Amino acid sequence: MKSIPQTHIITADCISKPGTVDVVTRFLFKQGFYINEIHSFVDTTENRFFIRVEFRAETDKVFDREDFCEQFQQRANEFDMQWQLASRPYKSKVVIMVSKHDHCLNDLLYRYRTGDLNIEIPAIISNHPDLEELAKWHGIPYYHLPISKETKPQQEAKVLKIIEDSDADLVVLARYMQVLSSEMSKKLSGKAINIHHSLLPGFKGAKPYYQAYDRGIKLVGATAHYVSDDLDEGPIISQCVETVDHSYYPQDLAAKGRDIECLTLSRAVRWHIEHRIFLNGSKTVVFSK
């Protein structure tokens, strides 16, 4: 049986000027690679160029990563291009943080278990003990780290230690109902994704779906974004929304919201681990399929 060629992903960004696409594609052509997928975008407001290319060798020769990087860097230097290279198969290490709500965690664990998300989960961290059995069933270490206003610095130090020891590529706040400190948010910048309902900022606080019901809401949605120092205002990765009507009672709205949160979060995680997201100031460039 013929083996499937190994694929690689190169992502890059730089100041926009003529030749930016060519610097990547011509190099790959001369090196004998075949392009499977390519996306590029120019932010004309910021004059910034972004590109993602998935490619493979047309022969069975061994991929020399060090030689590839050394040669491509010479080309990239001409454009002051910032770039990264990833090779498949590669499983991103994802640490999940959660409180008591289990729907997003359940969804991520199912996608992990079935291989739908190509990830490893070295740790699940929670400020409550409730979901430990779920983690144990999947054979994943569960860290119960209670938190209070007085113990927040110590608790976050333990969380960061677990993340660092796990060599995590990404941290997912799967309905982790705690506000991260400014220091922790900065340390996780660009590598932590949060999910929340898109009833914000209209319906804050306790029982938002009851508040929404009382106002006759017609749209329910969710937003996945990178964590930032500004609560729930980090660069947005993915958003989903669905219509509802007068027949939806608060519990129906909440159920619909849970479904949308799961879909929105898993989509954001997928795009991150597939290197489809670029940070662009306070925004993102997302090359979704």
Pairing of the two strands 92-98 and 48-57? unpaired
Give kind and range of the element (H or E) at residue 288: none
Q: What is the pLDDT of residues 170-213, one digit of tens each?
A: 999 999 999 999 999 999 999 999 999 887 667 777 788 899 99
Radius of gyration of the chain (CA): 21
Categorize the per-residue pLDDT at 1 as very low, low, confident or very high, splitting at 50, 70 and 90. Answer: very low
Catalytic residue check, 22? no
How far is the C-alpha of 239 from the C-alpha of 228, rounded, in Å? 17
Full-model pTM: 0.94
Q: What b-and-e string marks burial along 173-190, b requiring 16 or more CB atoms within 10 Å of the CB?
A: bbbbeeebeeebbebbee
Give the CATH H-level superfamily of domain 7-87.
Answer: ACT domain (3.30.70.260)
Q: For residues 4-25, give the mean pLDDT.
A: 92
Average pLDDT of the chain to the nearest whole number = 93
> Residue for token digits 């001409």?
78
Pick the CATH number of 92-286 from 3.40.50.170, 3.30.1540.10, 3.30.1950.10, 3.40.640.10: 3.40.50.170
| DSSP assignment string, 186-248 | HHTTTSEEEEEETTTTTS-SS-HHHHHHHTT--EEEEEEEE--SSTT-SPEEEEEEEE--TT-
Q: Which two structure tokens, joined as six digits, stand for 88?
A: 């498949």
Q: pLDDT tier at 88 (50, 70, 90 boundaries)? A: confident
Q: What is the pLDDT of residue 184?
A: 95
Please report the DSSP string for 118-177 in residue order: -EEEEEEEESSSTTHHHHHHTT--EEE----TTTHHHHHHHHHHHHHHTT-SEEEESS--
Task: Kindly tell me if the per-residue pLDDT of 169 is higher than 90.
Answer: yes
Least confident of 77-86, 93-102, 190-199, 227-236: 227-236
* CATH 3.30.70.260 residue window(s) in the chain: 7-87
Instruction: List, for residues 17-59, the tens digit of each pLDDT value.
Output: 999 999 999 999 999 999 999 999 999 999 999 999 999 987 7
Catalytic residue among 43, 102, 169, 232: 232
Percent of the chain with pLDDT over 70: 97
Q: How far apart are CA 97 and CA 91, in angstroms?
A: 19
Tell me the three state secondary structure of residue 65.
Answer: helix
Residues 234-260 have pLDDT tens digits of: 999 999 999 999 999 999 999 999 999
